[in-house]
Amino acid sequence: MKGFILAGGLGTRLRPLTYEIPKTMIPIKGKPVLQYNIELLKRYGIKEIVLGIGYMGEKIKEYFGDGKKFGVKIHYSEEKEPLGTAGALKLAGRFFKSTFVMCNGDELKNINIKRMVEFHKKHKPLATISLKKIDNPSEWGVVRMEDKKIVEFVEKPKNNPPSHFINSGLYIMEPEVINMIPNGNVSIEKNIFPILAKKGELFGYFSRGQWFPIDTKERLDKAVKYWKGF
C-alpha cells in the first residue's frame, strides 16, 4: 500500500513564520511535523510515499530527498499553482492503482492505520475517514453518522453542526475516488466527501490516539506542549 501526504499549503495563518518555512516543516520536539506523518505511515508498513508539494517545496525536497535515510521511498508531486486538497490528489493520481492512505501533512496524529485499513476492507466503501469527537466542531469538517456510515459531511458549518464528530485528516481510499475529481482547484472536503456521503460510499473510523492540527499559532503552541509522539 502507498501513502499520499498533502504538504503544499501556504500556511497563511502561521505568518510570519511561514514566510521562511513551509508549515509542514515546522519543528515539534526536534522533528518537522511532516516527518512524524512519514514515520506514522512507515510504522504500519507503508514505505512508498508521495508528497504533494507546492509552496517552498524545494525545502521539503532538500530535507527528505528520496526518503532513503528515513527508511522509505519518496516521490514528489509538485503543484505549479494551488490545486486544493482534491486537485493535489488528482495531480498525483498516477501513483495510486489500488487502496491507498492519504493524510494531511500539517497535523500530528497517532492513528492505528492497520485497524483502520481492516475496517475499510470489511465495509468496502470508496473512502474511510478518521474521526475525532470535539466540543467545538464548527471550524472543521463535521459528519452525521448512521451506524458506521457517514450520511452527511459539512465542511466548517457556521451554524448547527450535525454532530461533534470531525474529520481528523487521515483517509483510506480507493483509486475510483480520483476519477471523481474535476480539473482545477478542488477541495476534497467541500467537493468530494459530500458526494461520497450521498452515495453511501463514505465511512467513519473513530480514532482514540492523539491529534493536533498546527494550522494556527494557538494550535501550534498546544501541539508543542502536549504532543507525546508514538
State pLDDT tens for residues 7-41.
998 878 888 888 989 999 999 999 999 999 999 99
Of 187, 84, 208, the C-alpha closest to 141 is 187
Residues 215/23, Cβ–Cβ less than 8 Å: yes
User: Strand pairing partners for 103?
Assistant: 5, 170
Task: Evaluate whether the domain defined by 2-223 bears CATH number 3.90.79.10.
Answer: no
What pairs with residue 3 in β-bridges? 49, 101
Identify which has the larger pLDDT, 134 or 148. Answer: 148
The string of pLDDT tens digits covering residues 186-230 is: 999 999 999 999 999 999 999 888 999 998 999 999 999 999 876
Q: What is the pTM of this model?
A: 0.93
Of the residues 42, 47, 148, 156, which is catalytic?
Answer: 156
Does residue 156 have an active-site annotation?
A: yes
In this prediction, residues 65-78 reach a mean pLDDT of 97
